[in-house]
Structure 1
């Protein structure tokens, strides 16, 4: 369990943790792979959220998922991109969070992922929480903990 003082300091930057859905590039599950290829090329992100009807979070899409469909034995076949849709290749087994401010859960999950999709209790995509913003909070913590608290090593108290 994370100490409450540390948790409190980490959360001082919490207004920056959630990047709202309106500011996150995404594609619809029924978009063609041609469209998704263009979106990913333009935004230059490694992965983007895939949404369904009513902004329901459905999964993630990356450029390798798209380019894998174009690989032939001796050349690339871009024509396949018009025949397939995002739902055909997207990653569906994606960990999401509902509370981007649950310090323990989010820090644990961000070890393996650069961002986490945030959904509400109905599965609607509300945004992402990024490792970058959490690292900014951790940086603040390690540089300011001694300004907020008097730190004494436990072994020093025993002497």
Structure 2
């Protein structure tokens, strides 16, 4: 099955630029109640996924250095926040089956076009719904 059917397009996805600050990330993630968010650069290319854990560890490390919290969150760019997990993007030409393994470790799968431009995400819940429908279909035919 073509994954485009399950795509949440970029226009509906809340994402951040790697040049954004930790403060901007905290505000957006808090407002939308997100635990992770895609990073998309000025050229529209996917550059990674930022998680709450990434922010927490960066803040902890900087607080261990006795730095000022307000200064850290306003000064530090997201591109400078180490990411503990590298979420893997998938091409829009992939099949739904290609996403299942990735969905075990990622809340969403970033989707890119042939040139690596970010075009949206497929959420884990949509992948699970797809799998459930396949299982249900197989039970009905057996």
- TM-score normalised by length of structure 1: 0.74
Q: Distance in 2 between matches of 1:76 and 1:64?
A: 20
Q: Which has the larger radius of gyration?
A: 1
- Aligned residue pairs: how many? 138
In structure 2, the partner of 1:77 is 69
How is 1:27-66 mapped onto 2 (pairs within 5 angstroms)? 27-66=16-55
Separation (CA, whole Å) in 2 of partners of 1:90 and 1:58: 13
Conservation of the 8 A alpha-carbon contact between 1:98 and 1:121: yes
Asked if residue 20 in structure 1 is aligned to residue 13 in structure 2, the reply is: no
Aligned 8 A contact 1:40 1:62 in 2? no
Summarize the Cα distance change of 1:104–1:136 in structure 2 as closer, same or farther, 3 Å threshold.
closer
CA contact (8 A) 1:116 1:130 kept: yes
Aligned to 1:87: 79
Residue 129 of structure 2 corresponds to which residue in structure 1? 136
CA distance in 2, matches of 1:112, 1:20: 21
* Gap change, CA 1:18 and 1:100, over 3 Å in 2: farther
Q: Partners in 1 of 2:3 and 2:71 — Cα distance? A: 46
1:65-84 Cα offsets, whole Å, 9 max, x none, are 22333332489723211111
Q: Call closer, same or farther: CA 1:138–1:65 in 2, change over 3 Å.
A: same
Report what 1:157 is aligned to. none
- The change in CA–CA distance for 1:118 and 1:56 in structure 2 (over 3 A counts) is same
Gaps of 5+ in 1: 1-10, 152-159
Pick closer, same or farther for the CA change 1:52–1:143 going to 2, 3 Å: same
